Amino acid sequence: MPDSATSPLAGLLSSQPLINTRELKILSAAGFETVGDVLLRIPRRYEDRRSTKAIASLLNGETASLQVHVYSAGWRFSYKRYFEVSAGAEDEPYGPRLLLRWFNMPYVAKLLAVGMNLSVFGKVKEYAGKLTMSNPDFEVMDDEEIANRLVEKAMGNCPDEVIPPAADCVCVHTQRIVPIYRGISGMVPRRFRELVYHLLQIMPEGLRQPGYDVAPAYPYREALEDLHFPRTPEVAHKARMRFALAECFRQQFRVAWRRRQTRGKPGLVTAETDAYMQELLQSLPFRLTEAQLRCVSEIRADMERPVQMNRLLQGDVGSGKTLVALCAMLLAVESGKTAAMIAPTQILAEQHYNNFKKLLRGMDIRLSLRTSDRADDIGYVADNPDEADDSPRILVGTHALLYKKNKARNLGLAVIDEQHKFGVAQREKFVTAAVNPDVLVMTATPIPRTLTLTLYGDLDVSVIDELPANRGEIITALRSPNNMKKIIAFMRSELAAGRQIYIVSPLIEESEKSDRSAAVSEWEKWTGIFPGEPIGLLHGRLSPDEKDAVMADFRNNTTHILIATTVVEVGVDVPNATIMLINDADTFGLSQLHQLRGRIGRGQHKSYCILLSDAAPGEPGREKLEVLCRTLNGFEIAEEDFRLRGPGDVLGTAQSGLGSVQFAEWLSDTRLIHRATRDANAILDADPLLNLPQHAPLRELVLYESDQGVIG
């Protein structure tokens, strides 16, 4: 049994007496079942409530912690009912007062009574000459028994009783650095904080980190305390780093393991002569960029060796990755092997297929398309290739290519387009064949270098860091919907010049149905604006065949305007399109906007990306639009996106193959990544098969916990 199952952290919340049934339900709905679930909820931030002030020195508008004594308490009514406490310093019955008011929090009345000592935290406001705090966070400083008796007395149950003065008590919500967690619907923040506090108290001193402990010198229990209730900001940082390192280590350990599994594996020689490739390059109306040529030769060098290639081809949108991949595929075919390219969507698979068909015209190469989305039958086969035939060909398809029935025969090279849409698990599935085919994965998600290491540390990397020179300029403009008249006039002039237009709206998440109706009404709107103009409509509700037909019409310039939800985001290539109009642009992510903009500026014409948004300067959502207007560089945009949203959110989890990231800190911390990589390698050097008993948790990690990658 893994030791994680016997850890106190695995204890069920339902066996904790301090949590009632109602709370259990709320917690369970939010995904909290065990003590560990609660203790590993990471504070989003901290609030420093350490410094306490005297009432006399409070300033209007400031936020402060203070110790007060309750002189009177009761319900008040003005425009709203609220519970009010008149508070002052305990030893100054005639000193200055602070009025504490609680709105919509009737339970507070049951907790507070005259004679109590409180610690409160809140924002000071002056109303009609009186200092007040609305809904302050508070805690009763008297011990429980005294507090109860005070409340009883307030209710008239024991009016004459003399109640002894307060003993000392520990603050949870005030007078300390207080953790702030992401909200849990149905539970007030202070209650969750109390739970964390109490659960921490019952954890044994020698609590061990479940799984492999990366930092045994810093006891786990202490680190948890420091994480939730740090005594100083430095301590909080130290604790976060410990947990970040643990997370980073898990990730890097897997990468290091995979790297050892794939490194130096015997493979096929899949490149020899290059007549096909030369023929292709001669036939192109342009020359490959220096960066493309460099990448081709890096890939070729791998393919020429009888060792499996595991290479990442990274390049910004429009940098021309497809051609580089095609060169590699031609090398493979010429060496007598089949080459396959797998794309994340049917639209992209068909686009590659049609594109290759044109590019390879006149060459003696067989090309087939396989996608699963069509008909019921997995594995639609176009061009009817003879299945029993092993002779080399180029296959293009969606993940249908992963299924046994379609497994390419004689596979020498596997190219995976837009890797970020697939999980690592899919990549592995694709390449687990009898022989070890060479693998080239491509991604257009520009990510900072540290992250490339993290996500693709098991791969060699080639980067296309240059865009083709013939590109028309792209102008990016931020416009309010009030400017529509001008925008329409401009669109009209581009249409008159023979250009095409994308109009993209955000996906409506509640239901696909409303997504469709929103898309349809958008279509009706634009049909009204440009009567007689053929307009295509692409939304999630269309069948794959319908989507295809719509894309084909736009690609062939039969329709001049394409209304779409985000289906066009990745990879679609229509060089004649020069306007990308994005509705509610502020609701998209920065990298997504960059991808959308990448759909234009693909031909020689000047192009325009129009970001429609009514977000005012300073509003959330506005800043990223400004970033987009400022730069076209995908890497710069990725860095900004990381800064604005944090890498965890940017990458998503399914998309990245990262699993869930709690401590985004490490994603951009090279030192942590290097340390984790070094530790991982040291362990694997000493115990390559992880046979030692102390490495059992690591064995489990690499063998049984798969990455949760999902096909996008």
**Nearer to Mg ion among residue 470 and residue 558 (C-beta):** 470
**Nearer to ligand ADP among residue 90 and residue 466 (C-beta):** 466
For the CB of residue 122, give the shortest distance to ligand ADP in the complex, in Å: 53
**Nearer to ligand ADP among residue 274 and residue 573 (C-beta):** 573
Q: Which does 595 bind (CB under 5 to 8 A by kind): ligand ADP, Mg ion, none?
A: none
**Nearer to ligand ADP among residue 539 and residue 599 (C-beta):** 599
Going by their DSSP bridges, the two strands 177-180 and 338-342 should be labelled as unpaired
Examine residue 323 and tell whether it contacts ligand ADP (CB under 6 A). yes
* Secondary structure in 3-state letters for 316-360: CCCCCHHHHHHHHHHHHHHCCCEEEEECCCHHHHHHHHHHHHHHC
- B/e letters for 627-666, b = 16+ CB within 10 Å, e = fewer, are bbeeebebbebbbbbbebbebbebbebbbbbbbebbbbbb
Q: Quickly list DSSP for 112-138.
A: --TT-EEEEEEEEEEETTEEEEES-EE
The encoded tokens of residue 6 equal 């016997």
For the CB of residue 318, give the shortest distance to Mg ion in the complex, in Å: 8
439 neighbors 307 (Cβ within 8 angstroms): no
Q: How far apart are CA 218 and CA 157, in angstroms?
A: 51
Q: Which of 179, 210, 320, 709 binds ligand ADP (CB under 6 A)?
A: 320
For the CB of residue 417, give the shortest distance to Mg ion in the complex, in Å: 6
Examine residue 575 and tell whether it contacts ligand ADP (CB under 6 A). yes
Examine residue 315 and tell whether it contacts ligand ADP (CB under 6 A). yes
**Nearer to ligand ADP among residue 412 and residue 446 (C-beta):** 446
Stretch that binds ligand ADP, among 33-41, 314-322, 588-596, 627-635 (CB under 6 A): 314-322
Q: Which does 288 bind (CB under 5 to 8 A by kind): ligand ADP, Mg ion, none?
A: ligand ADP
Sheet strand arrangement including 460-464: 380-381, 367-371, 394-397, 338-342, 411-416, 438-443, 310-315, 460-464
Examine residue 706 and tell whether it contacts ligand ADP (CB under 6 A). no
Stretch that binds ligand ADP, among 6-14, 38-46, 231-239, 313-321 (CB under 6 A): 313-321
For the CB of residue 659, give the shortest distance to ligand ADP in the complex, in Å: 27
Examine residue 602 and tell whether it contacts ligand ADP (CB under 6 A). yes
Examine residue 36 and tell whether it contacts ligand ADP (CB under 6 A). no
For the CB of residue 668, give the shortest distance to ligand ADP in the complex, in Å: 25
Q: How far apart are CA 307 and CA 448, in angstroms?
A: 29
**Nearer to ligand ADP among residue 83 and residue 353 (C-beta):** 353
Residues 465-524 that bind ligand ADP (CB under 6 A): 468, 470
Q: Which of 174, 319, 419, 476 binds ligand ADP (CB under 6 A)?
A: 319
Going by their DSSP bridges, the two strands 137-140 and 117-127 should be labelled as antiparallel
Q: How far apart are CA 383 and CA 486, in angstroms?
A: 48
Q: How far, in whole angstroms, is CA 276 from its chain's centroid?
A: 41
**Nearer to Mg ion among residue 149 and residue 547 (C-beta):** 547
For the CB of residue 631, give the shortest distance to ligand ADP in the complex, in Å: 17
Q: Mask: binding to ligand ADP, 287-306, rule CB under 6 A, as x and -?
A: -xx--x--------------
Stretch that binds ligand ADP, among 151-159, 216-224, 281-289, 659-667 (CB under 6 A): 281-289
Beta-bridge partners for 416: 342, 441
Q: Which does 601 bind (CB under 5 to 8 A by kind): ligand ADP, Mg ion, none?
A: none
For the CB of residue 280, give the shortest distance to Mg ion in the complex, in Å: 17
63 neighbors 124 (Cβ within 8 angstroms): yes
**Nearer to Mg ion among residue 321 and residue 374 (C-beta):** 321
For the CB of residue 337, give the shortest distance to ligand ADP in the complex, in Å: 22
Q: What are phi and psi of 478, to 5 degrees?
A: -100, 120
658 neighbors 666 (Cβ within 8 angstroms): no
The encoded tokens of residue 579 equal 């306007």
Q: Which does 67 bind (CB under 5 to 8 A by kind): ligand ADP, Mg ion, none?
A: none
Q: Which does 648 bind (CB under 5 to 8 A by kind): Mg ion, ligand ADP, none?
A: none
Crossing angle (nearest 10°) for helices 622-630 and 634-645: 160
**Nearer to Mg ion among residue 447 and residue 615 (C-beta):** 447
Using DSSP's 3-state secondary structure scheme, residue 305 falls into coil
For the CB of residue 442, give the shortest distance to Mg ion in the complex, in Å: 7
What's the first-to-final CA gap in the chain, in angstroms? Answer: 35
Examine residue 573 and tell whether it contacts ligand ADP (CB under 6 A). yes
Q: How far apart are CA 551 and CA 574, in angstroms?
A: 10
Examine residue 127 and tell whether it contacts ligand ADP (CB under 6 A). no
Examine residue 559 and tell whether it contacts ligand ADP (CB under 6 A). no
Cα dist from 577 to 491, 503, 564, 598, 627, whole Å: 11, 11, 14, 11, 23
Examine residue 578 and tell whether it contacts ligand ADP (CB under 6 A). no
Q: How far apart are CA 451 and CA 465, in angstroms?
A: 17
By CB under 5 A, name the binding residues for Mg ion. Answer: 571
Q: How far apart are CA 482 and CA 486, in angstroms?
A: 9
Which residue's CB atom is positioned nearest to Mg ion? 571
Q: How far apart are CA 565 and CA 555, in angstroms?
A: 17
Q: How far apart are CA 134 and CA 125, in angstroms?
A: 8
**Nearer to Mg ion among residue 65 and residue 351 (C-beta):** 351
**Nearer to ligand ADP among residue 393 and residue 602 (C-beta):** 602
Q: Which of 49, 101, 321, 499 binds ligand ADP (CB under 6 A)?
A: 321
Examine residue 385 and tell whether it contacts ligand ADP (CB under 6 A). no
Query: Would you tell me which residues interact with ligand ADP (CB under 6 A)?
Result: 286, 288-289, 292, 315, 317-323, 444, 468, 470, 571, 573, 575, 602
